[in-house]
Homo-oligomer: A and B are copies of this chain.
Amino acid sequence: MEVALIGYTSDPELAIATAARVSSSSTTAPELLRKLTRDQVDSLIKQLISRGHLSPFEHASFTFAISGISRVTSHQLVRHRLASYTQQSQRYVSLKKLNYVIPATISVNPEIESKYHEAVRNAHQLYLNMLDADIPAEDARYVLPQAMETNLVMTMNARELMHACSLRLCLKAQWEIVQLFQAIKGEVERVAPRIGAELKPKCYQLGYCDEAESCGIFPTKEEIEVKVR
């Protein structure tokens, strides 16, 4: 898996802070852009988070090149609808080279692991044979395993990144998509550390875990309620 930030709103934290101030002042945005200090930007962002005023975070957008994730994970990923995706087509691109993902629970079991590799290779070989027999790539791909790698470009704004990370950085999420969003978080942190710091599992925002069982970082909602009363 490889994740690279290939484009983003210039000075994303300033854009967010400026927008936030426009809503509560009679100063226009160009003036605010000149006046806001780094400290004010930081403290505005902290305030927005703590009050749950997340809409200004939509003014900062991030575009990622994602390669080498499985179709298992891309199918989950594109369920986040408040984002933009352009994905490698299996209709128009013939996957001559075999690249695929293997889960750790499989690779620790040597006997099963070798059967897994064999099954994937056989399926891909049949795919190639079908292409040779003039079966269109869009039909031949039906035999390909979901482990096959795909490439895509994804754009998400900071608000939706926070939302997606709140779900996908939870340890209950599926391991490959957890890794993907950890890499995404890493890329955001490089260029916008204040935003990057807010990319975390939902329990950090909620103050409790709303899953059936907690991983231990936070108590469940039920446990908190007991303590409060």
Contacts and interface: CB of A to CB of B under 8 A. Distances in A.
A81 B154 CA distance: 14
A140 B115 CA distance: 12
A171 interface: no
A6 interface: yes
Q: How many copies does the complex hold?
A: 4
Chain A interface residue bracket vs B = 35 or more
A112 B136 CA distance: 13
Interface string A194-229: 000000001000111011100000010100110110
- Describe A's contact surface by its main secondary structure: mixed
A3 B144 CA distance: 25
A59 B153 contact: yes
Interface of A: 2, 4, 6-12, 14-15, 18-20, 22-26, 28-30, 33, 50-52, 55-56, 58-61, 63, 65, 67, 70-72, 74-75, 78-79, 81-82, 84-93, 95-97, 100-106, 109, 112, 115-116, 119-120, 122-123, 126, 129-130, 133, 135-136, 138-147, 151-153, 155, 157, 174-175, 202, 206-208, 210-212, 219, 221, 224-225, 227-228
